[in-house]
Amino acid sequence: MSRLARSRTAAAGIALVLTAAISSAVSAATAALPALPQPDDRYKADVLLILGHPDDDTEATPYLAKAAFDEHRRIAVVYGTRGNSGDNHLGMEQAKALGDIREIEGRQALASLGISNVWFLHNPDTPGQDVLHSLEAWGHGAALENIVRIVRLTRPEVILTMLPAYVSGENHGDHQAAAVLAVEAFDQAANPLSFPEQVNAPRKRDSINNYGEGLKLWQPKKLYFMDGGYHDFKGRGPTYSATEISPSKGVAYGQFRKQAWDFYATQYSLPEEWVQKLAVWPTQFIFGKSLVPSDAAAGVFAGIEPGSTVIYSKPTGYVPDAGNRPPLELGGPWAFYRRFWQAHDLQQLASILPPEGSVGVGDPLWVPLLINNDANTSKQFTLRAGLPQGWTQQEAQELTVTVAAHDSYPVQLNLEAPKGPSGGWQTLKWTLESKGSPSADVQLRMYLDERSILPQ
């Protein structure tokens, strides 16, 4: 072999060695990353109920039985409280001890429907009618963080909750607070800027003392409300019969509601006539909103395709009145809800719910009013009460106040309802006058109840 040939052979060998070395180095530098675990399917829900207390689920029991037993839906429930401020019709246990009992009652009632994914957030049971009081007691932001976390964990197609409104009849502030948080969570669970630590990937998921919760963004598709008050909302959403027979269980769906009440033994001892009503009382939902095509009265899962997803839907959000506020308006929870419905695209609730409430005969009633002055100068106003016979107002029937430019004055009125008779609607009215401006008035419907109503 010539010297030139030997040189070429040697060069080729060196090239092969270098190529192999480079290939080995590149191979070592490009190891495949492990596949990421998917969200824990044990907690995936088709339906998530967001409620105030154990026993609130009985509002929807006929539907839950149908969904669980005959439609094979996966259902999860979260309660804002453990019902620790309620009555005990069985024993002496109260406060935290009663909360322990009611949590077990709730778990047993739901287990009878095959529902085991249940969370209690341990917010204080806050007796009252004012949603703002309950949200204050719960710690609004912290409570919302917990609800958003559970929505992201359970990834529900549909959220069911109570009615976010101040209505006559069953009007617990905790029910309203649960509803407010459910609406906010519906609109925030798919927003990466809402509690971003929840969706931050953990640095080392298989080690202790880590940070980042590793949840996924999730947008529920539909939102429905329930109401146990004095209204008939038939036609405002789907209705599910309590007398229909379950094909798999051979009994009417209403029997499961009666069964649930048996578990809630510390609650009211219901008279037999009410027990019979529970057996036939349907589940009536009120349509909130849907991100898939669906009529308001269509079924809960109408328009939802199995396995489909929807992207984050940004709600309208709060839009300031920009100097167009009414001179006189109801304040407190009524003012909150007017803005809340608009911000979360629930304006239809304003059309079906005029400002109202309920009060027991002879009981006190607090009414907050707001006097708004959007003028460039201060103005003096005169406020006059127009109350039905039998009502008294602790403050004078005619009040005057000067309100600074572009400011508001909160008026706190303390009334007492008539001693009787009960069972009827009455309208309370206040008129506001100011020199050089047309008069304005607000009206508030109140239902006089024979029983004493929750405090405000």
How many CA atoms, within 13 angstroms, populate the side-chain half-sphere of residue 49?
32
pLDDT at 279: 85
CB atoms within 10 A of CB 221: 22
pLDDT at residue number 323: 80
Q: Give the orientation angle of helix 272-280 with respect to helix 254-263, to 10 degrees.
A: 140
pLDDT score, position 396: 97
Residue 296 has a CB neighbour count (10 Å cut-off) of 16
37 closest CA partner among 206, 218, 207, 193: 206
Give pLDDT, residue 422: 77
- Strand intervals (E) in 177-240: 222-226, 239-240
At 286, is the secondary structure helix, strand, or coil?
A: strand
Give dist(CA 64, CA 249) in Å, integer. Answer: 13
Q: Which amino acid is at 138?
A: W
Three-state DSSP at 327 gives coil
Contact present, 123 and 81 (Cβ < 8 Å): yes
Q: How far apart are CA 414 and CA 162, in angstroms?
A: 28
| The pLDDT of residue 198 | 97
Q: What is the pLDDT along the chain (456 residues), one digit of tens a residue?
A: 565 555 555 555 555 555 555 555 555 689 999 999 999 999 999 999 999 999 999 999 999 999 999 999 999 999 999 999 888 888 999 999 999 999 999 999 999 999 999 999 999 999 999 999 999 999 999 999 999 999 999 999 999 999 999 998 878 999 999 999 999 999 999 999 999 999 999 988 888 878 899 999 999 999 999 987 788 899 999 999 999 999 999 999 999 999 998 999 998 767 778 778 888 999 999 999 999 999 999 999 999 999 999 999 999 999 998 788 999 999 999 999 999 999 999 999 999 889 999 999 999 999 999 999 999 999 999 999 999 999 999 999 999 999 999 999 999 999 999 997 877 899 999 999 999 888 999 999 999 988 777 777
With residue 325 as reference, give the H or E element that holds it. Answer: none
How far apart CA 282 and CA 286 sit, in angstroms, is 13
CA distances from 127 to 124, 144, 399 (A): 9, 20, 32
Using alpha carbons only, what angle is made at residue 414 by residues 413 and 420, rounded to the nearest 5 degrees? 130
- Domains belonging to the chain, first-starting first, are 41-290 (3.40.50.10320), 328-449 (2.60.40.10)
For tokens 């996924």, the residue is 216
